[in-house]
Structure 1
Amino acid sequence: MHYSLSFAVAVAATFLAETFAIPIVVTPGNEKDVIVTAANTINGTEALEVPDDKTPLTLSFYNNFDGGQLNAYVTGLDPSGTVVMLSADGGWLYPDPKGSQTPVAIEGNVAIPLNGAGQTTGFDLPDFLSSGRVWIAEGELQFFTVVDGNGKAVIVEPAAANPSDPSSAVNWGFVELTNTKDSGIFANISFVDFVGLVIGMTLTLQDGRTQDVIGLRKNAITDICNDLRDQAAQDGQPWDKLCVTDKDGKPLRVLSPNLYLSLEPTAMETYYEDYIEKVWQKYSNEDLTINTQTDAGNVACRVNGQALECEGDNRGYVKPTVLDIWGCNSGPFGIREEDNAVHKAVVPRLCAAFYRTTLLVDGGNVQPSLGADSYYTADPTSHYSRLVHKYEIDGKGYAFSYDDVNPDGQNEAGVVSGANPKLLHMTIGGFAT
C-alpha cells in the first residue's frame, strides 16, 4: 500500500487537469517534471515491532528478457516504519531530502544489475519489509525524495502516467511485496495502474512448498495494444489511447482506464450510463444478493429510489460514474472510517460486479458467484482487464483493485503468500511455455 502526501493534492489536481496528445509518446524530463501524487509516493508509518531475530528473504531473478541491461530496485518500509531503498551493497539506504519539499534525486547505488539472458541473480533482503515493491527495469529508473508535512522523508517513485517523468522512456514493472515477522509474506503482480515489463514469480516457503503466478506472455504488451486498437475500431471508444509508446512508436506500457482518465477526465464518461440504468431497473424489482464471505453471510440489496440499499448496511449506494467503477475507491465505492462491517464487505463485491459487468448475466443476481468465464462478457465492460487476463498464461494478476473478489476457491488476483518464506523467485521476460 502506498501513502499520500498532505501537500500532494494541489499538485496532483493541476496535473490531472492537463491533457496530452494521445497516443501518449514519452518525452523524459528532469526533476522539475516529477509529479508528486498519492499514486507514486511512499512515506513512513508508525513504528512496527523490530524483531530481535532477522529472517532474511532471498530474492532471485531469472533473465528471460530479449532486450537490454536489466536492473532491480527495492523500495518499502523497514520494521521501524521508515522509508528505505535497498543499496547494491546489501544494506538499507535511507533517503535524505534535506528538508526539501520539491523532489531531490536519491543519491546512492540503488540499481542492482541483473545477470544477462539465461542467467539468475540472487540476493538477500537485510530485514523485514512492508509496503514494498521490487522493481525491474530495462535501463535505469530515477527515484526522488521530499519531506511530508511532518518533516519525514518520502520516496517519489516513477510515474507511469506522466509522459515527462524522468523515467518515462524506461521499460519497467514491479512486484508488490510485504514480508513481516508476524504475518509472513504477501506478494502480488499488479496491473491496477498499468502493464509494463513482463514478470512472473514463484514463492518457496521454508517447508519446501511452492506457489506460482506465471504472469503475462512474452510479447503481451504488443498483443494487448493491437487488440485495444481493434476494440477501438469496433466500438469507437479510445481503447487504443491506453498504449504509451517511445519516440519510435514502440509500446512501452499500457495504462489502465482509470489512470488514462487522469489524463483525459472526460473520456468515456457516458460509457456505462445505459448499463447502470438497466441494473437499477432490474434490482428495483428483485433482490441483488451479496455474499459477503464473512460472518454476515448473504445480504439482500434492492434499489429504493436513487440508491441501492442493503440489509444491515449503514448507508446506500448511488449510481456510480465510469471513474467510480474503474477506480473502485470513489463515489458509492468510497469507504469511510465509520462504515460498518457489512458496508466494508459489500463495497468490493459490488464494485467488482460493476467492473466485470456481471450484474445482468445469468446468475449475476448473486455476487460473487460466477467464475472467470463470465467476466467481461457483457457490453460495456473493461476491455483493458479482459485483455490483461487474456494474455496472462495462468489468468492471474490484479487487473483492477478488487480482482481478489472471487467465488470461494478461485483466485484471479495473482497473489502468493505464507508464513516463513524462503525464496521469492522472479522470471523477467515471460515464463517459457
Structure 2
Amino acid sequence: AGPANGQSKTIRMPKFSGRVYFSYGQKLVFKLTTGGLVQPAVQNPSDPNANILFNWTEYTLNDAGLWINSTQVDMFSAPYAVGVKRPNGTTIATGHLKPGGYKAFFDSLRSQPGGWGGLIKTRSDGTILRALAPGHGIEAGALPASVMNDYVNRVWSKYSSQTLTVQPFKDQPNTKYFGRVQGNTINFTNSSGAVVTSFQKPDSDSIFGCYKLLDAPNDLVRGPISRTLCAGYNRSTLLSNPNQPDANNANFYKDAVTNHYSAKVHAQMADGKAYGFAFDDVGAHESLVHEGDPQQAYITLDPFN
C-alpha cells in the first residue's frame, strides 16, 4: 500500500532501467507469459486494468547516476512529479502541473475539434481515467487515422522544391543532412551529396509513435534524422522552419494540424516540460531530472484538483 494523504513512504530501488507503477483504489494486475511480463495496455479496452486509475514513472539507475522522468508518451492520467536530491542537499523536480491543470487539460482536449476528445476514457461511475496518447487513440479507433495527413501533404509539397536541413547533434554543428522529396520518398544526403537514408511518406500513427515509417534505430545517421523529423511533425515546425530541429518552443504546435494532445500536456505543466511523445527530448523539452550522485529520489503523487 502507498502512503496516506500528506505522508511519504520510502522504497529501496535496485540499479535498473524500468518503471514504477502506482494505482488508486485497487492493485494493478500483472501477469507473466513465456515472453515475459505483461504490462497494462491502456489502448486495450479488455485489459484487466482498463478501469483502474493508474500511472507510472520511468527511471534508470546505474553507476553513472539516476535518470527519472514523468511520462505522457502513452497517456495522460493521475498527476505526479519526480525529483532527485543532490549531494549539496538541493532537490530538482519536474512534472508538476499548474494549479487547476489536471481539469484544464481534459477540458481543453474535449473541446478540441477533429475528434481529439475521443482520447478521453471515463469509468462507468464518471471518473476520468486517462487520455490516450494519439497513437494509441488511432489503434483503439478513438482518433481518425488521417488526422495528420493534411500537414504531411503540405510538408511533401514544400520539400519537393526546397531543401529541408537537419542538424541532429547540437554539439556537432557541422554534421548536417539535406532532405528533398522525390515522389513518395524523402531522400537525405550528406555534405558530399551521397544519399545516407530515405523515408517513405509517413502516416499519422508513424508520426505519433515515432516508429514504423519513422523508425529510429540506435545508430548515428538514420536514428538522429528520424528523431528530428518526428519532433518536427509532432510540433508542426517542419513547414515554418526548413532548418531542424527548431529548439524554440514558442514556435511549437502553431499549425491547425498538430499533436494537440502533446501541446495541451505541455501547456498545463508548471515548468512547460513533458514527454508528450517519444522524442520530446529533442531540444531538451522533456520532463526528466538527472543526477550523477543521487542521494534520494522522489515520486510525488499530486492532487487532482
Shift of 1:258: 0.4
How far is 1:306 from its partner? Answer: 2.6
Quote the Cα distance in structure 2 between the aligned partners of 1:180 and 1:391. 32
Does the CA contact (< 8 Å) of 1:358 and 1:376 recur in 2?
yes
Q: Deviation at 1:287?
A: 1.4
Question: Which residue among 181, 185, 188 is the counterpart of 2:66?
Answer: 185
Is 1:211 matched with 2:87?
Answer: no
Q: Which has the larger radius of gyration?
A: 1
Equivalent of 2:10 in 115, 122, 135:
122
Question: In the alignment, what sits opposite 1:60?
Answer: none
Worse overlay, 344-353 or 154-163 = 154-163
For 1:10, the equivalent position in structure 2 comes to none
- Partner letter of residue 105 of structure 2? I
Per-residue deviation at 1:422?
1.2
Deviations 1:190-244 (A, max 9, x none): 1001011100122113343532204324654432222122113xxxx21111111
CA distance in structure 1 between the aligned counterparts of 2:228 and 2:87, rounded to whole angstroms: 34
Instruction: Determine whether 1:415 maps to 2:288.
Output: yes
**1:108-161, Cα deviation, whole Å (9 max, x unpaired):** xxxx331x2222222323x3222x212222122233332325xxxx22222222
The AA in structure 2 aligned to 1:227 is S
Distance 1:249 1:307 in 2: 46
* Aligned partner of 1:169 among 33, 44, 51: 51
Say if 1:136 and 1:197, in contact at 8 Å, map to a contact too.
no
1:360 aligns to 2:246 (yes or no): no
User: 2 CA distance for matches of 1:329 and 1:247?
Assistant: 34
1:276-291 superposed matches below 5 A: 276-291=152-167
Which of 243, 261, 264 is the matching residue for 2:120? 243
Specify whether residues 186 and 318 from structure 1 end up closer, same or farther in structure 2 by C-alpha distance, changes over 3 A only.
same
Q: Which residue of 1 is the match for residue 176 of structure 2?
A: 298
Where in structure 2 are there 5+ consecutive unaligned residues? none
Counterpart Cα distance in 2 of 1:200 and 1:351: 26
Q: Matched residue of 1:253: which SS?
A: strand
CA distance in 2, matches of 1:272, 1:353: 12
**What is the aligned-residue RMSD (CA, Å)?**
2.2
Q: Does residue 270 of the first structure (1) align with residue 146 of the second (2)?
A: yes
| Residue in 2 that maps onto 1:143 | 29
Given residue 357 of structure 1, which amino acid in structure 2 is its aligned partner?
Answer: S
Q: 1:123 to 1:335 in 2, by over 3 A?
A: closer
Instruction: Tell me the TM-score normalized by structure 1.
Output: 0.64
Report Cα offsets for 1:41-92 as digits up to 9, x if no partner.
xxxxxxxxxxxxxxxxxxxxxxxxxxxxxxxxxxxxxxxxxxxxxxxxxxxx
* Alpha-carbon displacement from aligned partner over 1:331-375 (angstroms, at most 9, x marks no partner): 1x11457xx5221210000111011111112xx111113411111
- Partner Cα separation in structure 2 for residue 197 and residue 208 of structure 1: 28
Between the two proteins, what is the percent identity of the paired residues?
A: 28
Q: From the superposition, tell whether residues 397 and 316 of structure 1 become closer, same or farther in structure 2 (CA, over 3 Å).
A: same
Q: Which amino acid aligns with 2:251?
A: S
Which ranges of 4 or more aligned residues in structure 1 deviate by more than 4 Å?
A: none
- Which residue of structure 2 aligns with residue 345 of structure 1? 224
Aligned to 1:427: 300
Letter in 2 for 1:414: S
Counterpart-to-counterpart distance in 2, 1:357 and 1:198: 26
CA–CA distance in 2 between the matches of 1:380 and 1:142?
36
SS of 1:185's equivalent in the other structure is strand
Counterpart Cα distance in 2 of 1:117 and 1:305: 58
The CA distance in 2 between the partners of 1:278 and 1:161, in whole Å, is 30
CA deviation after TM superposition for structure 1 residue 163, in Å = 2.9
* Partner in structure 2 of residue 254 of structure 1: 131
Is the contact between residue 228 and residue 384 of structure 1 (CA under 8 Å) also seen in structure 2? yes
Amino acid at match of 1:428: L
- The answer to whether the aligner puts 1:404 opposite 2:293 as a matched pair is no
Select the residue among 182, 200, 208 that pairs with 1:318: 200
List gaps (5 residues or longer) in structure 1: 1-111
Looking at structure 2, the residues matched to 289 and 373 of structure 1 have their Cα atoms a distance apart, in angstroms, of 20
Task: Determine the C-alpha separation between the residues in 2 that align with 1:243 and 1:378.
Answer: 22
CA drift at 1:426: 2.1
